[in-house]
Structure 1
Amino acid sequence: MLTLYHSPNSRSSAIVTLIEELGADVEVKEVTVRRQDGSGGPDASNPHPEKKVPYLVDGTEGIRERGAIMLYLTDKFPEAGLGPIEGQPGRGEYLSWLFYYQGVMEPVIILKFAQFTHPAVEASLRDFDTMVARLAETLEKQPYLLGETYSAVDLLCSGPFLWLPDMLPDNEAIRDWVKRCSERPATVRTLERERQAA
Protein backbone atom coordinates (compact mmCIF):
# COMPACT_ATOMS: atom_id res chain seq x y z
CA MET A 1 0.00 0.00 0.00
CA LEU A 2 1.28 3.43 -0.97
CA THR A 3 1.11 6.09 1.74
CA LEU A 4 1.70 9.82 1.32
CA TYR A 5 2.57 11.92 4.35
CA HIS A 6 1.02 15.32 3.73
CA SER A 7 0.37 18.61 5.45
CA PRO A 8 -2.30 20.90 3.96
CA ASN A 9 -1.13 24.14 2.34
CA SER A 10 2.41 22.88 1.85
CA ARG A 11 4.64 21.51 -0.89
CA SER A 12 2.90 18.16 -0.56
CA SER A 13 -0.36 19.63 -1.90
CA ALA A 14 0.95 19.14 -5.45
CA ILE A 15 1.38 15.43 -4.76
CA VAL A 16 -2.18 15.17 -3.45
CA THR A 17 -3.31 16.74 -6.73
CA LEU A 18 -1.14 14.35 -8.75
CA ILE A 19 -2.58 11.34 -6.92
CA GLU A 20 -6.07 12.48 -7.91
CA GLU A 21 -4.97 13.12 -11.51
CA LEU A 22 -3.49 9.61 -11.64
CA GLY A 23 -6.53 7.95 -10.09
CA ALA A 24 -4.02 6.20 -7.85
CA ASP A 25 -4.87 4.24 -4.73
CA VAL A 26 -2.71 6.06 -2.19
CA GLU A 27 -3.48 6.56 1.48
CA VAL A 28 -2.92 10.18 2.53
CA LYS A 29 -1.89 10.70 6.15
CA GLU A 30 -1.86 14.25 7.47
CA VAL A 31 1.03 15.31 9.69
CA THR A 32 2.16 18.61 11.16
CA VAL A 33 5.28 20.39 9.96
CA ARG A 34 7.26 23.48 10.93
CA ARG A 35 5.82 26.41 8.95
CA GLN A 36 7.68 29.41 7.54
CA ASP A 37 5.98 31.63 10.11
CA GLY A 38 7.39 29.48 12.93
CA SER A 39 4.13 27.74 13.72
CA GLY A 40 3.69 23.98 13.81
CA GLY A 41 6.47 21.55 14.49
CA PRO A 42 7.87 18.11 13.76
CA ASP A 43 5.42 15.23 13.93
CA ALA A 44 6.71 11.99 15.48
CA SER A 45 4.43 9.98 13.17
CA ASN A 46 6.11 11.40 10.06
CA PRO A 47 8.80 9.00 8.76
CA HIS A 48 10.54 11.69 6.65
CA PRO A 49 14.12 11.95 7.96
CA GLU A 50 13.73 15.73 8.38
CA LYS A 51 10.02 15.58 9.38
CA LYS A 52 9.08 17.42 6.19
CA VAL A 53 6.48 16.74 3.51
CA PRO A 54 5.85 15.25 1.04
CA TYR A 55 7.07 11.78 1.88
CA LEU A 56 5.86 8.71 0.00
CA VAL A 57 6.16 5.20 1.41
CA ASP A 58 5.80 2.15 -0.83
CA GLY A 59 6.51 -0.97 1.20
CA THR A 60 10.12 -0.61 2.33
CA GLU A 61 10.79 2.28 -0.08
CA GLY A 62 10.71 5.87 1.17
CA ILE A 63 10.70 8.61 -1.45
CA ARG A 64 11.18 12.31 -0.69
CA GLU A 65 11.35 15.47 -2.83
CA ARG A 66 8.44 16.34 -5.08
CA GLY A 67 10.21 15.71 -8.36
CA ALA A 68 11.30 12.24 -7.26
CA ILE A 69 7.82 11.41 -5.96
CA MET A 70 6.22 12.62 -9.18
CA LEU A 71 8.58 10.50 -11.26
CA TYR A 72 7.96 7.48 -9.04
CA LEU A 73 4.18 7.83 -9.24
CA THR A 74 3.93 8.60 -12.96
CA ASP A 75 6.13 5.57 -13.69
CA LYS A 76 4.02 3.42 -11.36
CA PHE A 77 0.72 4.56 -12.95
CA PRO A 78 1.66 5.04 -16.62
CA GLU A 79 -1.91 4.51 -17.88
CA ALA A 80 -2.79 8.05 -16.72
CA GLY A 81 -0.35 9.46 -19.29
CA LEU A 82 1.02 12.18 -16.99
CA GLY A 83 4.67 11.45 -17.67
CA PRO A 84 6.49 9.56 -20.43
CA ILE A 85 7.89 6.29 -19.14
CA GLU A 86 11.26 4.78 -20.06
CA GLY A 87 11.47 4.28 -23.84
CA GLN A 88 8.66 6.71 -24.71
CA PRO A 89 9.27 9.92 -26.67
CA GLY A 90 9.64 12.96 -24.43
CA ARG A 91 11.19 11.06 -21.52
CA GLY A 92 14.38 13.15 -21.59
CA GLU A 93 12.47 16.43 -21.62
CA TYR A 94 10.23 15.17 -18.80
CA LEU A 95 13.22 14.31 -16.62
CA SER A 96 14.88 17.60 -17.50
CA TRP A 97 11.89 19.67 -16.33
CA LEU A 98 11.53 17.65 -13.10
CA PHE A 99 15.18 18.22 -12.23
CA TYR A 100 15.15 21.83 -13.49
CA TYR A 101 12.32 22.58 -11.09
CA GLN A 102 14.09 21.06 -8.10
CA GLY A 103 17.55 22.38 -8.95
CA VAL A 104 16.79 25.81 -10.42
CA MET A 105 13.18 26.98 -10.37
CA GLU A 106 12.34 26.48 -6.72
CA PRO A 107 15.65 27.85 -5.42
CA VAL A 108 15.51 31.04 -7.53
CA ILE A 109 11.85 31.60 -6.62
CA ILE A 110 12.70 31.28 -2.92
CA LEU A 111 15.70 33.59 -3.32
CA LYS A 112 13.58 36.20 -5.10
CA PHE A 113 10.86 35.92 -2.46
CA ALA A 114 13.53 36.38 0.24
CA GLN A 115 15.01 39.30 -1.76
CA PHE A 116 18.45 37.70 -1.68
CA THR A 117 20.99 38.07 -4.48
CA HIS A 118 24.63 37.07 -4.71
CA PRO A 119 26.96 36.69 -7.72
CA ALA A 120 27.90 33.12 -6.75
CA VAL A 121 24.24 32.08 -6.65
CA GLU A 122 23.45 33.76 -9.96
CA ALA A 123 26.51 32.22 -11.64
CA SER A 124 25.35 28.77 -10.58
CA LEU A 125 21.55 28.91 -10.67
CA ARG A 126 21.09 32.04 -12.80
CA ASP A 127 18.29 34.28 -11.60
CA PHE A 128 14.52 34.66 -11.63
CA ASP A 129 14.46 36.51 -14.96
CA THR A 130 16.56 33.83 -16.65
CA MET A 131 14.22 31.14 -15.31
CA VAL A 132 11.21 33.10 -16.61
CA ALA A 133 12.88 33.38 -20.03
CA ARG A 134 13.37 29.58 -20.07
CA LEU A 135 9.66 29.02 -19.36
CA ALA A 136 8.61 31.64 -21.89
CA GLU A 137 10.71 30.25 -24.75
CA THR A 138 8.97 26.90 -24.29
CA LEU A 139 5.43 28.12 -23.60
CA GLU A 140 5.41 30.63 -26.46
CA LYS A 141 5.75 27.62 -28.82
CA GLN A 142 3.36 25.16 -27.16
CA PRO A 143 0.60 25.09 -24.54
CA TYR A 144 2.39 22.83 -22.04
CA LEU A 145 5.99 22.16 -21.09
CA LEU A 146 6.10 18.83 -22.95
CA GLY A 147 4.00 19.92 -25.91
CA GLU A 148 0.28 19.64 -26.54
CA THR A 149 -0.73 17.73 -23.42
CA TYR A 150 -0.66 18.42 -19.70
CA SER A 151 1.78 16.42 -17.59
CA ALA A 152 3.09 16.20 -14.05
CA VAL A 153 5.79 18.78 -14.85
CA ASP A 154 3.09 21.36 -15.59
CA LEU A 155 1.57 20.65 -12.19
CA LEU A 156 4.97 20.95 -10.50
CA CYS A 157 6.30 24.00 -12.32
CA SER A 158 3.10 26.06 -12.32
CA GLY A 159 2.51 25.48 -8.60
CA PRO A 160 4.60 28.33 -7.17
CA PHE A 161 2.65 30.87 -9.23
CA LEU A 162 -0.63 29.59 -7.77
CA TRP A 163 0.65 29.94 -4.21
CA LEU A 164 2.54 33.20 -4.83
CA PRO A 165 0.50 34.99 -7.52
CA ASP A 166 2.48 38.22 -7.04
CA MET A 167 5.47 36.39 -8.53
CA LEU A 168 3.61 35.50 -11.73
CA PRO A 169 5.65 37.05 -14.57
CA ASP A 170 4.11 39.60 -16.91
CA ASN A 171 4.28 37.23 -19.85
CA GLU A 172 1.10 36.24 -21.66
CA ALA A 173 2.22 32.70 -22.53
CA ILE A 174 3.22 31.94 -18.93
CA ARG A 175 0.05 33.52 -17.52
CA ASP A 176 -2.14 31.53 -19.93
CA TRP A 177 -0.31 28.32 -19.01
CA VAL A 178 -0.72 28.93 -15.27
CA LYS A 179 -4.43 29.63 -15.85
CA ARG A 180 -4.86 26.39 -17.84
CA CYS A 181 -3.08 24.43 -15.10
CA SER A 182 -5.09 26.11 -12.33
CA GLU A 183 -8.37 25.15 -14.01
CA ARG A 184 -7.67 21.41 -13.91
CA PRO A 185 -10.48 19.86 -11.83
CA ALA A 186 -8.04 18.08 -9.49
CA THR A 187 -6.15 21.33 -8.89
CA VAL A 188 -9.37 23.23 -8.21
CA ARG A 189 -10.48 20.60 -5.70
CA THR A 190 -7.11 20.57 -3.91
CA LEU A 191 -7.01 24.37 -3.65
CA GLU A 192 -10.56 24.44 -2.27
CA ARG A 193 -9.74 21.79 0.35
CA GLU A 194 -6.56 23.65 1.31
CA ARG A 195 -8.43 26.94 1.70
CA GLN A 196 -10.97 25.25 3.95
CA ALA A 197 -8.19 23.63 5.98
CA ALA A 198 -6.57 27.04 6.49
Structure 2
Amino acid sequence: MPTLYHSPNSRSTLILLLIEEMGITDRIDVVNVTVARQDGSGGPDARNPHPEKKVPYLTNGDDHIRERGAIVAYLTDMFPDTALGRPVGHPQRGKFLGWLFYYQGVMEPVLVLDWANVEHAALHTTFRDLDAVFSCLANALQDQPYLLGGEYSAVDLLLSSPFQWLPDAMPQHPSIQAWIQRCANRPALATVMAREAAGSQLV
Protein backbone atom coordinates (compact mmCIF):
# COMPACT_ATOMS: atom_id res chain seq x y z
CA MET A 1 0.00 0.00 0.00
CA PRO A 2 1.37 3.49 -0.82
CA THR A 3 2.47 5.56 2.18
CA LEU A 4 2.28 9.34 2.37
CA TYR A 5 4.60 11.13 4.77
CA HIS A 6 2.73 14.23 5.87
CA SER A 7 3.02 17.13 8.27
CA PRO A 8 -0.24 18.90 9.22
CA ASN A 9 -0.86 22.32 7.68
CA SER A 10 2.00 22.11 5.23
CA ARG A 11 2.44 21.60 1.50
CA SER A 12 1.51 17.96 1.98
CA THR A 13 -2.01 18.96 3.02
CA LEU A 14 -2.76 19.31 -0.68
CA ILE A 15 -2.04 15.60 -1.15
CA LEU A 16 -4.42 14.76 1.69
CA LEU A 17 -7.03 16.80 -0.15
CA LEU A 18 -6.31 14.92 -3.37
CA ILE A 19 -6.70 11.60 -1.55
CA GLU A 20 -10.00 12.79 -0.07
CA GLU A 21 -11.27 14.00 -3.44
CA MET A 22 -10.31 10.71 -5.06
CA GLY A 23 -12.08 8.68 -2.38
CA ILE A 24 -9.02 6.56 -1.68
CA THR A 25 -8.43 7.31 2.00
CA ASP A 26 -8.59 3.59 2.75
CA ARG A 27 -5.97 2.82 0.13
CA ILE A 28 -3.18 5.13 1.32
CA ASP A 29 -1.31 4.95 4.62
CA VAL A 30 -0.54 8.35 6.13
CA VAL A 31 2.37 8.84 8.52
CA ASN A 32 2.53 12.19 10.31
CA VAL A 33 6.07 13.52 10.70
CA THR A 34 7.61 16.76 11.89
CA VAL A 35 9.34 19.16 9.53
CA ALA A 36 11.30 22.37 9.98
CA ARG A 37 8.91 25.34 9.89
CA GLN A 38 9.54 28.92 8.76
CA ASP A 39 8.96 30.16 12.30
CA GLY A 40 11.80 27.99 13.59
CA SER A 41 9.60 25.32 15.13
CA GLY A 42 9.66 21.65 14.26
CA GLY A 43 12.61 19.87 12.76
CA PRO A 44 13.70 16.83 10.76
CA ASP A 45 12.01 13.55 11.62
CA ALA A 46 14.05 10.35 11.49
CA ARG A 47 10.94 8.45 10.38
CA ASN A 48 10.71 10.49 7.19
CA PRO A 49 12.54 8.77 4.31
CA HIS A 50 12.64 11.95 2.20
CA PRO A 51 16.34 12.66 1.57
CA GLU A 52 15.83 16.27 2.73
CA LYS A 53 13.22 15.39 5.41
CA LYS A 54 10.54 17.38 3.59
CA VAL A 55 6.90 16.65 2.82
CA PRO A 56 4.97 15.47 0.95
CA TYR A 57 6.78 12.23 0.21
CA LEU A 58 5.10 9.16 -1.20
CA THR A 59 6.52 5.66 -1.10
CA ASN A 60 5.14 2.62 -2.85
CA GLY A 61 7.43 -0.35 -2.30
CA ASP A 62 10.81 0.59 -3.72
CA ASP A 63 9.34 3.52 -5.64
CA HIS A 64 9.70 6.90 -3.91
CA ILE A 65 8.06 10.08 -5.23
CA ARG A 66 8.74 13.65 -4.21
CA GLU A 67 7.21 17.00 -5.30
CA ARG A 68 3.49 17.62 -5.31
CA GLY A 69 3.01 17.71 -9.06
CA ALA A 70 4.74 14.34 -9.44
CA ILE A 71 2.70 12.83 -6.59
CA VAL A 72 -0.53 14.15 -8.14
CA ALA A 73 0.37 12.54 -11.47
CA TYR A 74 1.42 9.29 -9.79
CA LEU A 75 -1.72 8.86 -7.72
CA THR A 76 -4.14 9.87 -10.46
CA ASP A 77 -2.42 7.41 -12.81
CA MET A 78 -2.51 4.71 -10.14
CA PHE A 79 -6.24 5.22 -9.55
CA PRO A 80 -7.56 6.32 -12.97
CA ASP A 81 -11.20 5.51 -12.17
CA THR A 82 -11.39 8.48 -9.79
CA ALA A 83 -11.56 10.85 -12.81
CA LEU A 84 -9.40 13.58 -11.24
CA GLY A 85 -6.49 12.78 -13.55
CA ARG A 86 -6.01 12.22 -17.24
CA PRO A 87 -4.44 8.80 -17.84
CA VAL A 88 -2.11 7.87 -20.69
CA GLY A 89 -4.13 7.88 -23.90
CA HIS A 90 -6.65 10.47 -22.70
CA PRO A 91 -7.05 13.36 -25.18
CA GLN A 92 -6.28 15.86 -22.38
CA ARG A 93 -3.23 14.01 -21.05
CA GLY A 94 -0.86 16.65 -22.42
CA LYS A 95 -2.83 19.58 -20.99
CA PHE A 96 -3.04 17.82 -17.63
CA LEU A 97 0.72 17.30 -17.41
CA GLY A 98 1.35 20.77 -18.78
CA TRP A 99 -0.58 22.41 -15.95
CA LEU A 100 1.15 20.26 -13.31
CA PHE A 101 4.58 21.24 -14.61
CA TYR A 102 3.54 24.87 -15.07
CA TYR A 103 2.64 25.04 -11.40
CA GLN A 104 5.89 23.50 -10.18
CA GLY A 105 8.19 25.25 -12.65
CA VAL A 106 6.56 28.65 -13.10
CA MET A 107 3.59 29.57 -10.95
CA GLU A 108 4.85 28.60 -7.50
CA PRO A 109 8.31 30.18 -8.00
CA VAL A 110 6.68 33.42 -9.20
CA LEU A 111 4.31 33.53 -6.19
CA VAL A 112 7.13 32.83 -3.72
CA LEU A 113 9.46 35.41 -5.27
CA ASP A 114 6.71 38.02 -5.21
CA TRP A 115 5.88 37.19 -1.57
CA ALA A 116 9.58 37.51 -0.67
CA ASN A 117 9.88 40.83 -2.58
CA VAL A 118 12.71 39.49 -4.72
CA GLU A 119 13.18 41.36 -7.99
CA HIS A 120 15.59 40.65 -10.83
CA ALA A 121 15.21 40.78 -14.60
CA ALA A 122 16.59 37.26 -14.94
CA LEU A 123 13.83 35.92 -12.70
CA HIS A 124 11.10 37.51 -14.81
CA THR A 125 12.72 36.24 -17.99
CA THR A 126 13.02 32.72 -16.64
CA PHE A 127 9.83 32.34 -14.60
CA ARG A 128 7.58 35.19 -15.92
CA ASP A 129 5.90 37.60 -13.51
CA LEU A 130 2.59 37.70 -11.66
CA ASP A 131 0.78 39.48 -14.48
CA ALA A 132 1.85 36.79 -16.94
CA VAL A 133 0.80 33.97 -14.60
CA PHE A 134 -2.58 35.54 -13.90
CA SER A 135 -3.15 36.22 -17.60
CA CYS A 136 -2.40 32.55 -18.34
CA LEU A 137 -4.99 31.43 -15.78
CA ALA A 138 -7.57 34.01 -16.88
CA ASN A 139 -7.24 33.00 -20.52
CA ALA A 140 -7.73 29.33 -19.64
CA LEU A 141 -10.82 30.14 -17.57
CA GLN A 142 -12.38 32.64 -19.96
CA ASP A 143 -15.01 30.30 -21.38
CA GLN A 144 -14.99 27.37 -18.95
CA PRO A 145 -15.34 26.84 -15.18
CA TYR A 146 -12.19 24.74 -14.73
CA LEU A 147 -8.74 24.59 -16.28
CA LEU A 148 -9.50 21.49 -18.34
CA GLY A 149 -13.09 22.37 -19.19
CA GLY A 150 -16.38 21.67 -17.48
CA GLU A 151 -15.17 19.26 -14.80
CA TYR A 152 -12.99 19.78 -11.73
CA SER A 153 -9.66 17.93 -11.86
CA ALA A 154 -6.44 17.56 -9.92
CA VAL A 155 -4.90 20.50 -11.77
CA ASP A 156 -7.59 22.80 -10.35
CA LEU A 157 -6.81 21.45 -6.90
CA LEU A 158 -3.07 22.11 -7.29
CA LEU A 159 -3.17 25.50 -8.99
CA SER A 160 -5.88 26.97 -6.76
CA SER A 161 -4.14 25.80 -3.57
CA PRO A 162 -1.89 28.86 -2.94
CA PHE A 163 -4.94 31.12 -2.75
CA GLN A 164 -6.56 28.92 -0.09
CA TRP A 165 -3.53 29.57 2.12
CA LEU A 166 -2.75 33.14 1.02
CA PRO A 167 -6.02 34.86 0.09
CA ASP A 168 -4.20 38.22 -0.07
CA ALA A 169 -2.38 36.90 -3.15
CA MET A 170 -5.65 36.44 -5.03
CA PRO A 171 -5.62 38.36 -8.32
CA GLN A 172 -8.30 40.86 -9.29
CA HIS A 173 -9.45 38.81 -12.25
CA PRO A 174 -13.18 37.93 -11.96
CA SER A 175 -12.78 34.62 -13.79
CA ILE A 176 -9.89 33.56 -11.53
CA GLN A 177 -11.69 34.65 -8.38
CA ALA A 178 -14.80 32.69 -9.36
CA TRP A 179 -12.67 29.61 -10.12
CA ILE A 180 -10.87 29.84 -6.77
CA GLN A 181 -14.24 30.09 -5.01
CA ARG A 182 -15.58 27.06 -6.86
CA CYS A 183 -12.53 25.06 -5.78
CA ALA A 184 -12.81 26.32 -2.19
CA ASN A 185 -16.47 25.30 -1.97
CA ARG A 186 -15.79 21.61 -2.52
CA PRO A 187 -16.77 19.52 0.51
CA ALA A 188 -13.44 17.68 0.58
CA LEU A 189 -11.61 20.89 1.47
CA ALA A 190 -13.72 21.48 4.58
CA THR A 191 -13.30 17.84 5.60
CA VAL A 192 -9.52 17.88 5.30
CA MET A 193 -9.07 21.27 6.96
CA ALA A 194 -11.19 20.13 9.92
CA ARG A 195 -9.01 17.04 10.20
CA GLU A 196 -5.86 19.16 10.01
CA ALA A 197 -7.13 21.51 12.70
CA ALA A 198 -7.76 18.52 14.94
CA GLY A 199 -4.30 17.14 14.19
CA SER A 200 -5.70 13.74 13.29
CA GLN A 201 -4.58 11.29 10.65
CA LEU A 202 -6.56 9.50 8.03
CA VAL A 203 -8.03 6.25 9.29
TM-score (norm 2): 0.95
Aligned match of 1:169 = 171
Rounded Cα–Cα distance in structure 2 between residues aligned with 1:69 and 1:185 = 22
The answer to which of 129-138 and 187-196 deviates more is: 187-196
Aligned match of 1:56 = 58
Letter in structure 2 aligned against 1:148: G
Rounded Cα–Cα distance in structure 1 between residues aligned with 2:167 and 2:193 = 14
The Cα shift of 1:191 comes to: 1.9
Aligned match of 1:15 = 15
**Deviations along 1:110-163, whole A, 9 cap, x unmatched?**
001111111000011011111011001111221001111000000000000000
TM-score (norm 1): 0.97
Match of 2:89 among 84, 87, 90: 87
Say if 2:91 is the partner of 1:74. Answer: no
Say if 2:133 is the partner of 1:131. Answer: yes
Rounded Cα–Cα distance in structure 1 between residues aligned with 2:177 and 2:135 = 13
Query: How many positions carry a matched residue from both structures?
Result: 198
Q: 1:94-105 maps to which residues of 2 (within 5 A)? A: 94-105=96-107
Letter in structure 2 aligned against 1:193: R
**Does the CA-based 8 Å contact 2:20-2:192 persist in structure 1?**
no
Rounded Cα–Cα distance in structure 1 between residues aligned with 2:176 and 2:197 = 24
Rounded Cα–Cα distance in structure 2 between residues aligned with 1:192 and 1:120 = 41
The Cα shift of 1:189 comes to: 1.1
The Cα shift of 1:22 comes to: 1.3
The Cα shift of 1:196 comes to: 3.7
Q: 1:151-166 maps to which residues of 2 (within 5 A)? A: 151-166=153-168
**Deviations along 1:64-117, whole A, 9 cap, x unmatched?**
000000000000000010011000110000000000000001100100111111
The Cα shift of 1:195 comes to: 3.2
Match of 1:28, SS state, is strand
Aligned match of 2:2 = 2
The Cα shift of 1:183 comes to: 1.1
The unaligned stretches of length 5 or more in structure 2 are none
Match of 1:130, SS state, is helix
Aligned match of 2:189 = 187
Match of 2:182, SS state, is helix
Say if 2:38 is the partner of 1:36. Answer: yes
Letter in structure 2 aligned against 1:34: A
Rounded Cα–Cα distance in structure 2 between residues aligned with 1:144 and 1:195 = 28
Match of 1:29, SS state, is strand
Match of 1:149 among 148, 151, 154: 151
Match of 1:121, SS state, is helix
Rounded Cα–Cα distance in structure 2 between residues aligned with 1:62 and 1:51 = 13
The unaligned stretches of length 5 or more in structure 1 are none
